[in-house]
Amino acid sequence: MKWNTKTYEFPLLAIVTWLLCYSPAAAATLAVLYPEVKAPYKQVFEQILDGIASQHNERLLKVPLGKKFDKSRILAEMDSDNVDMVITLGRRSFSFVSELKDRYPFVSGALPLSPNGVSGVSLIADPETLFTRLNTLAPKVQRVFVVYTSRNKWLMELALQSAESKNLKLVPYEVKDLAQAVEKYREIFKQTNSYTDSIWLPLDKITANEKVVLPLLLKEAWRRKIVLFSSKPSHAKRGALFSIYPDNKRSGVRLAQMVQEIHRLQNKPGVEPMKYLKVGVNLRTSAHLGLEYSREQMHSFYAVFPTP
């Protein structure tokens, strides 16, 4: 298997100076496991890899994984290449986690991770960053309703703290299944106030269900003039006021920082929500809600809908 590596050339004097002034420890080798995929997903992983490469200035091995791969062979080749630390990107690479635990310092990314003993950057948006956007884009909002399942309980603990710091009142409801989620949303709409209340859709297959929940929320939020915002990128295009997009390159930078920290200090930072975010805004929805944005704000939006 041929892996991409960085190579460097230094003047002899610089090398001698380095050897005299610093300890002779070898350069740390970082391996990144990532899936071979087609566009547009390929671009996502390329951006993350760019971020990793910008942070890790030593030896970098890029290990693409096809749909079929020999896990034992890849691990053996990583051993022979003296790999010091590993980053896994995406679900395919995450299949290596059990083998990596006792082998290398590692972190994971490009997945909606929840705290489970693995360190990394989750695709789940950081509530503080999300609420900062809400304050900017819908400044009259005072309450945020959110329906979630047990998988996102950890996120709600962060969200409660973040909401308070942003002068928002978070009203969370935990549910177990889709039927409970729909029932809870109907109850929420009976107590909401136009313009000052909002509903947040987290990354949750049940409470942000595309076929049942989203159409209901889009219809009722529009009718009642409730701010609907989402952690899933595609929802602004569907009609939510705004949704969040990950900044893939900055995510790569953070992943490299985390694995370097584990390698150097032997501590595990755990799972971090995605703090580096871009925003997509639905201007038709904003106009319906009576919201106007400055030219400077408009230029800061990553995407706008409907597309001009």
Residues 79-118 have pLDDT tens digits of: 999 999 999 999 999 999 999 998 999 999 999 999 988 9
Q: Which residue range forms the structural domain that includes residue 189?
A: 125-245+278-305
237 and 135 share a domain? yes
21 phi and psi angles, rounded to 5 deg: -95, -20
- 188 and 106 housed in the same domain: no
- Residue 258 within any structural domain of the chain: no
| 120 found inside a domain | no
What are the tens digits of pLDDT across the range 145-163? 999 999 999 999 999 999 9
Q: What is the CA angle 248-275-214, rounded to 5?
A: 85
What is the C-alpha separation between 179 and 214, in angstroms, rounded?
A: 14
Question: By the 8 A CB rule, do 124 and 203 touch?
Answer: yes
Residue 259 belongs to a domain: no
- Percent of the chain past pLDDT 70, that is, above it, reads 92
SS3 193: coil
179 and 219 share a domain?
Answer: yes
263 within a domain of the structure (yes/no): no
Confidence of residue 20 (pLDDT cuts 50, 70, 90): very low
Question: Which residue, 111, 137, 161, sits at the end of a domain?
Answer: 111
The domain boundary residue, chosen from 43, 78, 111:
111
Distance of CA 111 to the CA centre of its chain: 7
Task: Say if residue 104 is in the same domain as residue 203.
Answer: no
The band of 25, judged by pLDDT with boundaries at 50, 70 and 90, is very low
Q: Over 90: is that where the pLDDT of 72 sits? A: yes
> Which domain-ending residue is among 111, 139, 170?
111
In this prediction, residue 3 carries a pLDDT of 58
Residue 87: CATH number of its domain: 3.40.50.2300
- Looking at the domain assignment, is residue 117 inside a domain? no
Whether 198 contacts 228, CB under 8 Å: yes
Please tell me whether residue 68 adopts helix, strand or coil conformation: coil
- Encode pLDDT of 203-226 as tens digits: 999 999 999 999 999 999 999 999
Number of domains present in the structure of the chain: 2
Identify whether residues 287 and 171 lie together within a single domain.
yes
> Can you list the alpha helix ranges (DSSP code H) found in the chain?
12-21, 41-55, 71-80, 90-94, 97-100, 127-137, 153-165, 178-189, 213-224, 235-238, 248-265, 283-288, 295-300
Do 95 and 229 belong together in one domain?
A: no
Q: Give the angle 76-67-45 at the CA atoms, nearest 5°.
A: 85
Residues 67, 203: one domain? Answer: no
Q: Tell whether 88 and 183 lie within a shared domain.
A: no
